[in-house]
A and B are shown apart, each in its own frame.
Chain A
């Protein structure tokens, strides 16, 4: 199978039904994407496929064949959201953070508070009560 992962074309021999989450973590060494529940409830494994947020624990590798996949590592560390999550307390324990940031990336620029609340409803955070995440996103410019 062939993917474009974080801008790099990657060819992999993996079982077509292997979870994309495991392909990323085990076959590509991209452990920034986390597993919190394995059933698509917590959003810790959120990545982008063709710019759309998905729970990578629910996506078989075959589904992403030929697609552009972006993980937290693909943001490089200079994305305004990453800086904002540090400055405004959006990351506490950090386990939901990669998925939360990827879901926030998918909201586009300058989302309203309501768009953020709805857009992140599939990403659970147990530390922050979400307020600091909203502040991080709204103040990332």
Chain B
């Protein structure tokens, strides 16, 4: 009887290569005759290119501009509005204009290209921008009716900043001209996105473009769409020079030029009964798309669908807009719109509780979605809804109510709640003594959810395929899903091994190479386990049946090769209407509750998270250590988003595009992270699994901001840098 695989923390497939230094990332590879390439970028945020002059001897250089593009000059994605190389107009700083290549990197870096521009007035304000890439309206019930039912109306505006994905391996590719086309190796999440973009750009048929993912040093969304741009650049140079070309960004270029999380401005107006029941939720959300559309439409979609937070309400109106500004395009980042909107929802929820004089737990208990309730899009939730379960577990585990009451009593100065500071009293408990006047403490929670898989009809449109090939020992997995640290290879192999009834070690995973594997869709949207894993499970079920009582070896001898391919099947009970934005936005949702405890230093105004607890309901943890790793890592990124990570945009240019002053959490900034995993299976997921990758980043920011509120600091914006906290501590005139 083979040992079971699912639910066990088996050894990561590529683990040994990663700990010995044997794993090959893109910059570790080289090819004979390799050229290095460099991208010449716009220095202005908006205007026209007047002329380009070369202040160096161009002998030995390969020079590429838009005129070298065989197909249409676009990075094919959704709206096809973004040029691969600017022709005349530029819309943001760091927009690619020219490519240079040379064998010698020193010569390449020394090359002096002078571009003259005619500048036009840039737009930086997403709220007042007149160009919208996408607008979305969600309506449920009658919003006016909801406000008529309300006893109290609470309003607020919440702001979130950019966030840089900050994978430790910068973006990079190598393009090799071959077979009358091109092969691109690179650090990426979505080989078939790159494949499609290059077919269009280079005007080549399917089989002349081959994309191979190399070991990838983190993605977090930052290697979802941008690799199509870099691959296009490298491929253009490689085809012109007919030599292999390496284009690997350094950290500064990666931060200046590539996509980031969309900043957002979100306004809430909420009607509520005195007893705490929500009667009307009215939300207006604007996200800053930057200069080109990229994925803004779908980021907005996930953002607005999650904008109410995990709460029941009969009357909902949501208006969302993704607008254009003259800043580098924003794009995919773990969470994909939901961290912004759920930050607003959860910060607002604490203010609603405060307005009613009830505690943050009670307001959520009253309104949390239950099985049978409907979401903003009218999706009726089944028994896989766990909002109350995660809330109760988190509250109990952290002794939340006691701490919250104690800390709230000791607010040093609370502009929004004057009574709290007008009755000074001696500290009576250990908690209170620790939270001294110089270092006030606070505790806050956030309740949140995250839809697994593509939004709405997305999975149907993708029609992902996965294949399983029988081998002598077991099976080989053929998918385009990429391993980017989350454990794709390992978790897929577990699902197949368990289903097929063979040991984990007998399942191999093919490289994500478009020349060899079917298009199983992009590695994004918390879909790789739940959606692609389920397709693989169906392949393995079919293979198991074909094998009958034969061993793989016997079967191969008798019948020859066996490859099973299956395509995504929409669950019969799922329906979605893209026009009305009504229906089942996702197959299922994960549910989570975070509790953050913070301490504020009243001399430096720094916030130190001192404890962090998160309860995640994810259906089924296929690999408990990997699932834990997603939750811990996402939580740390979320705390960085909340407290540290500030992209300073000055005249449309990131002013702190280096690790010295764009601060991500170090060991010393990251508190102990206490994780509880609950399992409430989703019937259409493999072994009940839901998505897990993105949800962890939705909750830390509102939990931290609500903790600041409990310590007496009324902030409605992240990152909550010392400057903002100091301002919040100053009584409002």
Chain A contact residues, CB within 8 Å of chain B? 25, 30-39, 41-42, 44, 71-73, 75-77, 81-83, 85-89, 91-98, 101, 116-118, 120-132
The interface residues of chain A lying within 8 Å CB-to-CB of B166 are: 126
B220, closest chain A residue (CB) = A126
The interface residues of chain A lying within 8 Å CB-to-CB of B576 are: none
B80 CB → nearest A CB, Å: 31
Interface pair B217/A132, CB less than 8 Å apart: no
The interface residues of chain A lying within 8 Å CB-to-CB of B17 are: 94
Interface pair A94/B632, CB less than 8 Å apart: no
CB 8 Å contact bits of B610-639 with A (1 = contact, 0 = none): 000000000000000110110011111100
Question: Which of the residues A71, A128, A130 comes within 8 Å of B21, measured between beta carbons?
Answer: A71
Cα-based distance from A38 to B252 in the complex (angstroms): 9
Interface pair A92/B168, CB less than 8 Å apart: no
Most buried by A among B9, B165, B167, B632: B632
Question: Which of the residues B169, B216, B664, B665 comes within 8 Å of A34, measured between beta carbons?
Answer: B169
Cα-based distance from A119 to B567 in the complex (angstroms): 49
A80 CB → nearest B CB, Å: 11
B543 CB → nearest A CB, Å: 29
Q: Can you offer 26 A-B residue contacts whose CB atoms are under 8 A?
A: A32-B21, A36-B169, A37-B251, A37-B658, A72-B20, A76-B20, A77-B20, A82-B20, A85-B19, A87-B9, A91-B18, A92-B487, A93-B169, A98-B19, A121-B667, A122-B666, A123-B667, A124-B659, A126-B165, A126-B167, A126-B664, A127-B485, A127-B629, A129-B632, A129-B634, A131-B632
The interface residues of chain B lying within 8 Å CB-to-CB of A33 are: 21
Interface pair B20/A75, CB less than 8 Å apart: yes
Asked if A131 meets B21 with Cβ closer than 8 Å, knowing A121-B667, A124-B168, the reply is no
The interface residues of chain A lying within 8 Å CB-to-CB of B27 are: 31, 34-35
The interface residues of chain B lying within 8 Å CB-to-CB of A41 are: 658-660
Interface pair B633/A126, CB less than 8 Å apart: yes
Interface pair A86/B636, CB less than 8 Å apart: no
The interface residues of chain A lying within 8 Å CB-to-CB of B672 are: 131
B216-243 with Cβ < 8 A to chain A: 216-220
Answer whether residue B117 sits at the interface, using C-beta atoms and an 8 A cutoff.
no
Asked if A97 meets B666 with Cβ closer than 8 Å, knowing A34-B25, A37-B251, A126-B633, the reply is no
Cα-based distance from A54 to B659 in the complex (angstroms): 17
Interface pair B632/A30, CB less than 8 Å apart: no
Interface pair B12/A91, CB less than 8 Å apart: yes
Answer whether residue B673 sits at the interface, using C-beta atoms and an 8 A cutoff.
yes
Asked if A89 meets B629 with Cβ closer than 8 Å, knowing A34-B25, A98-B21, A129-B635, the reply is yes
Asked if A91 meets B19 with Cβ closer than 8 Å, knowing A86-B11, A126-B637, the reply is yes
Cα-based distance from A92 to B633 in the complex (angstroms): 10
Asked if A93 meets B666 with Cβ closer than 8 Å, knowing A82-B19, A127-B633, A129-B636, the reply is no
Interface pair A77/B16, CB less than 8 Å apart: yes
Interface pair B169/A127, CB less than 8 Å apart: no
Answer whether residue B28 sits at the interface, using C-beta atoms and an 8 A cutoff.
yes
Cα-based distance from A98 to B24 in the complex (angstroms): 12
Cα-based distance from A99 to B17 in the complex (angstroms): 14
Asked if A93 meets B20 with Cβ closer than 8 Å, knowing A31-B28, A38-B251, A126-B633, the reply is no
Interface pair A118/B21, CB less than 8 Å apart: no
A134, closest chain B residue (CB) = B667
The interface residues of chain A lying within 8 Å CB-to-CB of B14 are: 94
Answer whether residue B110 sits at the interface, using C-beta atoms and an 8 A cutoff.
no
Cα-based distance from A122 to B484 in the complex (angstroms): 23
A126 CB → nearest B CB, Å: 5
A96, closest chain B residue (CB) = B168
Cα-based distance from A96 to B251 in the complex (angstroms): 14
Interface pair B20/A87, CB less than 8 Å apart: no
The interface residues of chain B lying within 8 Å CB-to-CB of A30 are: 21
A139 CB → nearest B CB, Å: 12
Asked if A92 meets B485 with Cβ closer than 8 Å, knowing A32-B21, A129-B632, A129-B633, the reply is yes
B662, closest chain A residue (CB) = A41
Cα-based distance from A72 to B21 in the complex (angstroms): 6
Extra pairs beyond A34-B217, A127-B633, A131-B673 (7, CB < 8 Å): A37-B251, A41-B659, A71-B21, A95-B25, A95-B168, A95-B169, A127-B218
Interface pair A132/B168, CB less than 8 Å apart: no
Asked if A95 meets B217 with Cβ closer than 8 Å, knowing A88-B625, A126-B166, A126-B168, the reply is yes
Cα-based distance from A42 to B636 in the complex (angstroms): 16
